[in-house]
């Protein structure tokens, strides 16, 4: 999450007001922007959380696929 500011001192955590307004959504809400990050900057807990999220999605999709196979 980035903080909207008038003068940017840290470009990794802050975004200028004009730039933020340029990415503003149609209905006035903010859009989520994906940005690649260097994995070497992540800590151990962030890596574990990411691994857990990926594994959970794999298990969920596997369950959905099995359900679709046998629902008929």
Out of 8-12, 23-27, 40-44, 46-50, pick the least confident. 23-27
Classify 11 as helix, strand or coil.
coil
Query: Given pLDDT bands bounded at 50, 70 and 90, which one contains residue 59?
Result: very high
31 near 39, Cβ under 8 Å? Answer: no
* Whether the model pTM is above 0.85: no
Segment 50-70 shows an average pLDDT of 92
Kind and range of the H or E run holding 61: helix 44-70
Domain range list for the chain: 1-32, 42-72
Q: What is the pLDDT of residues 22-44, one digit of tens each?
A: 766 544 555 556 677 777 787 88
């Amino acid at each position: 999450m980035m903080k909207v500011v008038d003068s940017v001192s840290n470009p990794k955590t802050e975004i200028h007001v004009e730039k933020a307004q340029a990415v503003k959504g149609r209905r006035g809400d903010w859009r989520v922007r994906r940005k690649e990050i260097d994995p070497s900057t992540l800590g151990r807990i962030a890596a574990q959380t990411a691994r857990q999220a990926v594994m959970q999605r794999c298990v969920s999709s596997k369950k959905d696929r099995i359900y679709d196979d046998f629902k008929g």
